[in-house]
Structure 1
Amino acid sequence: MKKIKKDFGDCSLADLLENPDFVAWATAPDANLDSYWQSVMAKHPKLTPAIEQGKKLMFSMQFDKVLMDSGEHASLWAEIARRTVLKEQNKMVLPVWSRTLAAAMLVFAFFCASFYFYANRYITISTGFGQTKEAVLPDGSIVLLNANSSVRYANNMHENGARELWLDGEALFDIKHLHRFGRVKKQQLFIVHAGKAEIEVLGTTFNVRNRREKVELALLKGKVAISVSGSDSPSLIVAPGQQTLYDLRRDTLVREDGNIKATTAWKDGMLVFDDLSAEELFGQLEDSFGYRPMFEKPSLKKKRISGTFASGNYDHLLKAIGLSLGISIIKQENPRQLIIR
């Protein structure tokens, strides 16, 4: 393998493009690298034009920094260097045009590998406790994430095969309909993976909650099919206004009519409870806000609640729930927990 030049007195553009430190600085600069190369230009001012040309060449093929950070650039370059075999010519100096061509080919290889990395990269979008976030997918579909949730999908999800997405938490989906007529093609399908459950749609609006080893599906419009990977439970076709529940522990998948407006009220900053036990209620609040409930008496878990509550202010929400249940709720930090008495 060719040795990297440390003496920049007679350094050329080709030498720079073969220097991993220069590539790292040109594509993903940081304070240390910037200080180093500024000192190189100060010591070797004649090298400045080649350095600037090299930076422009590398910059022209960069992708969005959000999609590829400095560590990934370095790893990708190291992999290219590992696969590139350069035979040393003893006591032989290659012509300038030959070295420049070799450098250009190396840069082209880097570009191709970068493009492949970008096209096949998985993107993750997530929310923290008490947050919601709307995201537009590459195919134009819209996902509204509830608190403490995440989705993962391929950057090129709409180009090859079925559109697929993995959900952890809760989200409301508005899927773009790609099928117009004739037989449904594979790339026109949209599949949501929620634990072991797989929800297959064409174009529709639905809510999925994947928490505590349960997957709940509520369909607002359109039609979906839900199945469970590796389960004996048969797949179900769900119509608007219907809900399904898959219980991982029991390995059961059931369909029922439900209150869709209550299920999706969270998107409007509201929570609707219909004869819900305090244990289930505070479990849902823990999922969204991150405070673990600590009941001082087991009997408190059996109290039941019905009503509609605003969820924008967590302290106000706890106060309203406490008044409704006739209990005292003390919020603590470090650790985040609720003392319920």
Structure 2
Amino acid sequence: MPKPYSNYTLEDLIDNQSFRKWVKDPDSDQSDFWQEWLYQYPEKADLVAQARLILTNMDEDIEDDDIIDVWDRITKTNNDYEQELQQINTPVTNTPVTNTFPIYFQWAAVILGVILTSALVWFGLQEEQISYTTQYGEMKTVILPDGSTVQLNSNSSIRYTKGWNSTQIREIWLEGEAFFSVTHTVTHQRFLVHTPQVIVEVLGTQFDVNTRRSTARIVLSEGKIQLNDIQKHHGSLEMAPGELVEVNKTIDTLIRRRVDPDNYTSWKQNKLIFEDMVLSEVATMLEDNYGFEFYFKDQEIANFTFTGSVSRDKVPLLFTILEKTFRIHINQNGNKVTVSK
């Protein structure tokens, strides 16, 4: 039975052909898988960095088939390893010299160096992860170590490492929706927001990121941000204030258009604003933020277009407005909502 990716060790990564291909060519067809894997297991970032360092420092002529054999030799006990070194250093007369020793020696030097470096990283820099989560109908404001703020919408979560310093990259992993007000630092630190679909990079600005339903939607209020790791044929993309970008890697689509950012960030002011929004999208918004499950008995109703606003805590009032506006019936039973004529 194959070993679960969540249990992968340094040796497993180096032995993995897909991982080696990704390290050699970050734009390969393996990129999406390993980026998603890192997103799911951020605690493996140090392990990936070690494996990448080993592989990138190796001679490109080394065959993949040599790797497992090399690891068997490198991980022997100290006595066996010293015995091998003694045998290697014993003078040999009239014996053809193969390229096996240079390969093993090079691997050993690189790996031992990485192990020493990794020990310092592990014991000196290893940081605990901090996470914040909101429930349905709940909002929360989080102040980050650099003074930046994150306003979490309902049914959302963020996580980041504790104790940022003035030199490291500021990184956050987001699920759901959040509005970021990023502080500019004198050392011009990068600020990265990781989502399954895209990585948002920024120096100092305000923007909203929604990662629900396999789609990343980014709305820029002010400043400038860059989207990285979008799709192979799109590369990076720089956004200007008032722009919306939606990325869906599953179906390989990218939408970019001008919008009023206030319509997408009104939840911060405890308001729900709908502008020319079909009722199916209204239902989706309510499902994501309040945990409802909508059922339209007639697809024609789902395509009705609605413009209006209501307080976030006045969802029953919204239902009444929709009923009177479109002459429909909305029946709520717990979290089940049925819409009919």
Normalising by the smaller structure, the TM-score range is 0.5 to 0.7
CA contact (8 A) 2:230 2:247 kept: no
Match of 1:161 in 2: 168
2:160 & 2:144 partners in 1: Cα distance? 9
Corresponding letter in the other structure for 2:173: W
CA contact (8 A) 1:233 1:251 kept: no
Q: How does 1:198-213 map to 2 (within 5 A)?
A: 198-213=199-214
* 1:130 partnered with 2:154: no
TM-score (norm. length: structure 1): 0.60
Match of 2:323 in 1: 322
Displacement, 1:317?
2.6
CA 132–271 in structure 1, closer or farther in 2 if over 3 Å, else same:
same
2:279 & 2:259 partners in 1: Cα distance? 20
Match of 2:215 in 1: 214
Corresponding letter in the other structure for 2:145: P
1:171 aligned counterpart, secondary structure:
strand
Match of 1:197 in 2: 198
CA contact (8 A) 1:119 1:155 kept: no
CA 207–318 in structure 1, closer or farther in 2 if over 3 Å, else same:
same
Match of 1:340 in 2: 339
CA 118–149 in structure 1, closer or farther in 2 if over 3 Å, else same:
farther
CA 161–229 in structure 1, closer or farther in 2 if over 3 Å, else same:
farther
Match of 1:251 in 2: 252
CA contact (8 A) 2:197 2:247 kept: no
CA contact (8 A) 1:244 1:254 kept: yes
Q: Which of 151, 155, 164 is matched with 1:148 structurally?
A: 155
The answer for unaligned runs of 5 or more in structure 2 is 1-121
2:321 & 2:144 partners in 1: Cα distance? 37
CA contact (8 A) 2:176 2:212 kept: yes
Match of 1:233 in 2: 234
CA 223–179 in structure 1, closer or farther in 2 if over 3 Å, else same:
farther
Corresponding letter in the other structure for 2:291: G
1:264 aligned counterpart, secondary structure:
helix
CA 290–168 in structure 1, closer or farther in 2 if over 3 Å, else same:
same
Corresponding letter in the other structure for 1:227: N
Corresponding letter in the other structure for 1:168: E
Deviation string, structure 1 residues 282-310 (Cα, Å, up to 9, x no partner): 01110000011011222221111112222
1:229 & 1:317 partners in 2: Cα distance? 36
Displacement, 1:280?
1.2
CA contact (8 A) 2:230 2:236 kept: no
Deviation string, structure 1 residues 255-300 (Cα, Å, up to 9, x no partner): 3211111111111111121211111110111000001101122222
Deviation string, structure 1 residues 43-68 (Cα, Å, up to 9, x no partner): xxxxxxxxxxxxxxxxxxxxxxxxxx
Superposition misfits of 4+ residues, deviation over 3 angstroms: 115-119, 157-160
1:118 & 1:309 partners in 2: Cα distance? 47
Match of 1:96 in 2: none
CA contact (8 A) 2:224 2:241 kept: yes
Corresponding letter in the other structure for 2:149: I
1:121 & 1:263 partners in 2: Cα distance? 33
2:336 & 2:135 partners in 1: Cα distance? 17
Give the paired residue count.
Answer: 220
Match of 1:266 in 2: 267
1:211 aligned counterpart, secondary structure:
coil
* Structure 1 stretch displaced more, 141-150 or 231-240: 231-240
**What is the aligned-residue RMSD (CA, Å)?**
2.3
1:257 & 1:119 partners in 2: Cα distance? 42
